Structure 1
Amino acid sequence: MMAWWVLASVGVLLVLLVRGKLSPAVLFGSWATGYLMLGVVTQQQWLNSFTNPALATLLVLMLVSLALERSPLLERFSGALLKGNEHLATFRLMGVTATLSAFLNNTAVVGSLLGVISRQQHIAPSRLLIPLSFASVLGGITTLIGTSTNLVVNSFVVNAGLPALGMFEFAAVGVPVALLCLLVIMLSRRWLPRHKLQQHNGQQPYFLEAKVQPGAPLVGRSIEQNKLRNLNGLYLLEIVRNERLISPVAPDEILEANDVLVFTGEIEKVQALQPFNGLELFGNGVDKLLASNLVEVVISNQSELAKSTLQEVDFRTMFNAGVVGIRRGNKRLTGQLGTIPLKVGDSLLLAVGQDFTQHRNIDRNFHILGNWQRPKLSNRQSTLAFVGFGAVVALAAFGALPLLNGLLLLLAGLLLSRILTLGELRRRFPFELVIIIGSALTVAKAMDSSGAAQLVANGMRSLFSGYGVFGAFVGVYVMTLMLTETVTNNAAAALAFPVGLSTAQAFGADPMPFIMAVAFGASACFMVPFGYQTHLMVYSPGHYRMTDFIKTGLPVSLVYSAGVIALVPVVFPF
């Protein structure tokens, strides 16, 4: 009875994950707590899930990556990648991205190149950004540390009492599959849109300017007193006063004669300004001033803004910036900007204060596409960070030093040399990821101990009884692929792993092929932008539609799946 109850509850969890109303951290955390309270798992099992050595390795790796992503080396190198014709530039970009993503966090690799690709005026970014994201995924599947998904699967392996996965255990399957798929991308990229290159000159169509006439009732009164903060569909973004830009505008700012008020939002609702006597509308007059004050950003997967509105988070106070416009994919969102729930991957056009990049919460919340540069490491610091990281990977690969031990030593060195600071670690600590993975390990333990995973495995055995263990292996892979296209990659791995392991046990087979089916299946997200963080990062900057991912990603997904299904049983026999 308990097994059926747990299985039903996991079904509800999956439905809620697909709907996306609540974050995976909230859902997995709630389910893990519920299983603990109801006695499905013990307190010790719950605690062990959050002290898993593989989870600790992933956590330290992400903290070390904070230093590597601040290196200017990738941005400097990117100029050479994009030279020549589009075909060769795409080939070089994907090759380098895949190679780097095999060893560096693929989110950091894409984040480092995203702004450079978006700013360059040689090739339309829409022709490069999906190949960039796909290549980062393909590079990540070749090593243990290339993607968080492989490290998450490794945490489940360790939790199940099996030997930990090796650094290059994925390579025999991952490298051939990655090479095949990169060739397919070179062919399928013909279906990518060719949007016009964006000139970042500040001449945006959604500004409305109004001048305060001398003697107007508005003069000498504050913004709050004049009731200019809560207009129907319009938002006061900036004030231009004597060739000086006031941004953001405080509620107690006193208006003066000849002030130019810059509004944004639903510009068609200009009638909202009609009740204000002495306010004169006129055409573009402050483009040059605005151009030096605009920056485009993409909401990151670590951002606290996701699922919140600008009003709820008090965006202006938090970042000293006003939001000019919001774009999701190729769609510019309309309506009152302050009431629109934001999503990871949304592009925001901001009018920012001069100290914008000095705010300590910028890196956690945004990938910056504009010319504003966050503080970078020096050449010496970059060299030290990369040499140290390379040494740790090499020592782990040859078995001379455990990966966790090496990463801890490197993290200590980065802190002692002040390449990283404790403040930066606090700001960027991946709390949500720890909650998701630790709780997912608890959910997996609940499925295993209650017999729910065995029920699914018995169903798989009955379903594929005519096809043998190979049919069950294919079934586990397809199930994981379908999950990762509908929920996040890490959530897909969490839900599929206990089923895959129990299925292997039901057939009396070696668990490794089924573990690899889950690992590679959880990274097989190519057809929708919402299942993988790098796809969300490029979705809005590339002005993409859902169909762009489907047309380009479908052939990649088919070749990827065929390669995995063919190679895994050869490299890891049943």
Structure 2
Amino acid sequence: MTPWTVLVSIIALLALLISGKVKPAIAFVTLAGIFLVLGFVDTNTLLMQFSNPALATLLLLLLVSLALERSPLLDWLSRHLLSGHPRLATARLMGSTAILSAFLNNTAVVAAFLGAVSRQQRIAPSRLLIPLSYASILGGITTLVGTSTNLVVNSFNVSASGTELSMFQFSLVGIPVALISLCVLMWRANSLPHHRLEDTNEKLAYFLAADLDPSSPMIGKSIEDNGLRSLEGLYLLEIERQGRLISPVAPDELLQANDMLVFTGETGKVQALQRFPGLQLFGHQADNLLATNLVEVVISHESELPGKTLQDVDFRSMFSAGVVGIRRGEKRLEGQLGKIPLRVGDCLLLAVSADFRQHRNLDRNFHLLSGSFTRPRLSNKESLFTVGGFAAVIIFATANLLPLFHGLLMLLGGLLVMKVISFAELRRRFPFELWLIIGSALAIAQALENSGAAGLLVTGMQALFSGYGIYAAFIGCYLLTLLLTETVTNNAAAALAFPIAWSTAQAFGADPLPFVMAVAYGASACFLIPFGYQTHLMVYSPGRYQVADFLKIGLPVSITYSAAVLIITPLVFPF
């Protein structure tokens, strides 16, 4: 029963990940702990997985990327890519994103271009942001360091075979697949919605929430008498009173002390509320709000805010900013702002104080879309050292002159010595969740082997594909990984699919490399649903997209990408 217990527990893990009710890190660590207690994996083996050399290389790369993403090079590119004819500008944006994402963290690349694309006036951002996200994925599949998924797969490959994948081993298949898919993406970009620029800039679907001070002379008077029915650009949507909502609001409704008035419409017309005595926007008088900066941000995948409400985290104290409005995709979020559970990708319009930029947790929690606030950038000297050092590390690793881990460790040390990056920033931005997921997943894979569950997988794969041949088994492993990456995170998909692919290769007595590559490319094939991939969530609300927009453009890209991978991979990496 032991092997079956392990397999059933992994199926339960997958079900939890798909449900979204448990964070992947918690789910993977818990299962690894259960396997440890039950004796499927011993303590030394478990601890060794968390110090896997390829996993350590991935962590170093992500830490070095914290400095790379602050280079003014990305800002300079973002200002110059979108000139000229819209089609040419779109092609330049996609091409530059793909090239940069081959060597830089794709989240950092998308974050660098996100603000510039959202602020520019020439091309509707909705025509650019999905291509931006997809191009970052396609660039990432071309090198070992292009995406964390490739490095995750490399971690499993090192654990299973003792050998590392080389820097450009992914390029032989990745480059032609990326070029073909980019052509399809360019063709389908015209089918994206064209949200008018004036709608994007003037009528963002935000809410304004204002508290009525107990001393206000407006108390006891009706909506009509207070002149709240004839506001320029704003509409009184509902009133929150003692924990209940009044919606719609009748003209003869009398205002009471401590009412919260929720307005919708054009946030730029917030000055219309200035003339009402005792009306406060999140604890500040309306005229005080006008003296602050309005900053639009997107909640990042590293943020601690998702799943929590503004009230839960005491947002104003945490960031020295008040949330003026929340937008999710193209939808207007109805209800009480302070009680809405936040999600990755939500757009927040913040009224920030002078202390806002001093908070050290901004980079971790937000991607900046608009506003006068700008993130600190590297000086020219610091940028030259950082970019040049990273290029040297890649060149030495490619030429087998210096292992990638050694080069990244030396570069990180240099960045600390030069004070380009600080220990405090490393602590704040250290990818603990990813480290826990991959380390635990490696231990779970070892438990599969130790318990005999891997042998069951081998037998099952032989029975399933015995009449169809090794190529059918290869296709099955790829499609399984693609399905997982669309339903759970890409790194979790790679972690779950790798042991199956490796067992399948063993079942057929084949070279495991094409199956390993099938997992790597399949785990990056997230083109259909926005919720499984972090860069999709980054562009979802700024582009005011619906899920149907991702399906419309993602389906032909996914089909083309998959066909190219399934045809080219066996030619480059024979069974």
Structure 1 residue 517 displacement after superposition: 0.6
In structure 1, what is the equivalent of residue 549 of structure 2? 548
Q: Is the 8 A contact 1:29 1:435 kept in 2?
A: yes
1:99 equivalent to 2:95? Answer no
Question: Displacement of 1:327 after TM fit?
Answer: 1.6
Q: Aligned partners of 2:303, 2:496: CA distance in 1, in Å? A: 25
Q: Return the alpha-carbon distance in structure 1 between the equivalents of residues 517 and 158 of structure 2.
A: 14
Note the C-alpha offset of 1:312. Answer: 1.4
Change (3 A) 1:174 1:272: farther
Q: Does 1:276 align with 2:264?
A: no
In structure 2, what is the Cα distance between the partners aligned to 1:266 and 1:299?
A: 29
Is the alpha carbon distance of 1:168 and 1:284 closer, same or farther for their aligned partners in structure 2, counting shifts above 3 Å? same
Cα deviations across residues 140-184 of structure 1 (Å, max 9, x unaligned)? 000000000000000001111331000000000000000000000
C-alpha contact 2:150 2:520 (8 A) present in aligned 1: yes
The separation in 2 between residues aligned to 1:355 and 1:502, in whole angstroms, is 55
Q: How many residues align?
A: 533
Amino acid of the residue matched to residue 196 of structure 1?
R
Q: Which consecutive unaligned segments of at least 5 residues does structure 1 have?
A: 219-231, 236-264
Distance in 2 (CA, whole Å) between partners of 1:431 and 1:563 is 35
Q: Structure 1 residues 216, 57: closer, same or farther in 2, change over 3 A?
A: same
Q: Does the C-alpha gap of structure 1 residues 211 and 565 become closer, same or farther in structure 2, counting only changes over 3 Å? A: closer
TM-score, normalised to structure 2, is: 0.88
Structure 1 residue 328 and structure 2 residue 293: aligned? no
Q: Distance in 2 between matches of 1:498 and 1:199?
A: 46
Deviation at 1:234, TM superposition (A): 4.5
Partner-residue secondary structure (3-state), 1:67 = helix
Deviation at 1:233, TM superposition (A): 5.5
Deviation of the 1:139 alpha carbon: 0.3
CA apart distance, 1:85: 1.9
Deviation at 1:13, TM superposition (A): 0.5
**CA deviation string 1:110-145 (max 9, x = no partner):** 011111111111111110000000000000000000
* Equivalence for 1:147: 147
Q: Which runs of 5+ in 2 are unaligned?
A: 220-237, 264-269, 275-285
SS at match of 1:126: helix
Farther off after superposition, 429-438 or 308-317: 308-317
Question: Which residue of structure 1 aligns with residue 347 of structure 2?
Answer: 347
Deviation at 1:283, TM superposition (A): 8.1
Instruction: Indicate the residue corresponding to 1:537 in structure 2.
Output: 538
Matches within 5 A, 1:220-299: 234=240, 274-276=255-257, 284-286=272-274, 290=290, 293-299=293-299
Amino acid at match of 1:498: P
Residue pair 2:213, 2:257 contacting (<8 A) in 1 also:
no
Letter of the 1:284 partner, please give it.
A
Residues 92 and 276 of structure 1, relative CA distance in 2, 3 Å threshold: same
**Map of 2:277 onto structure 1:** none
**Aligned-partner Cα distance in 1 for 2:475–2:31:** 29
User: Once the 2 structures are TM-superposed, how far is the Cα of residue 278 of structure 1 from its aligned partner?
Assistant: 13
Which amino acid in structure 1 is aligned with residue 404 of structure 2?
L
Paired residues for 1:303-452 under 5 Å: 303-371=303-371, 372-452=373-453
Once the two structures are overlaid, the 10-residue window that deviates more, 149-158 or 312-321, is 312-321
Matches within 5 A, 1:448-527: 448-527=449-528
Does residue 31 of the first structure (1) align with residue 31 of the second (2)?
Answer: yes
Deviation at 1:374, TM superposition (A): 1.3
Instruction: Please give the per-residue CA displacement for 1:297-317, whole angstroms capped at 9, x wherever unaligned.
Output: 111111111111111111111
Moved more, 292-301 or 87-96: 292-301
Question: Kindly, what percent of the aligned residue pairs are identical?
Answer: 59
**Residue 461 of structure 1: how far off its partner (Å):** 2.0
TM-score of the aligned structures, taking structure 1 as reference length: 0.88
CA deviations on 1:247-283 (whole Å, 9 max, x unpaired) are xxxxxxxxxxxxxxxxxx9985699971239999998
Amino acid at match of 2:385: L
Give the Å deviation of 1:22. 1.2
Corresponding residue for 2:71?
Answer: 71
SS in 1 for 2:207: coil
Q: Structure 1 stretch 9-18 or stretch 159-168: which is displaced more?
A: 159-168
- For residues 398-419 of structure 1, the C-alpha deviation after alignment (integer angstroms, 9 at most, x for no partner) is 0000000000000011000000
Q: Which residue identity does 1:274 align to in structure 2?
A: L
Aligned to 1:175: 175
Q: What is the CA distance between 1:205 and its match in structure 2?
A: 6.6
Q: 1:229 is matched with which residue? A: none
Is contact 1:454-1:499 (8 Å) kept? Answer: no
Q: Secondary structure at the match of 2:70?
A: coil
Moved more, 393-402 or 307-316: 307-316
| 1:73-88 equivalences in 2 (<5 Å) | 73-88=73-88
| Aligned partners of 1:298 and 1:347 also within 8 Å | yes
Counterpart in 1 of 2:565? 564
Task: Tell me the CA shift for residue 554 of structure 1.
Answer: 0.4
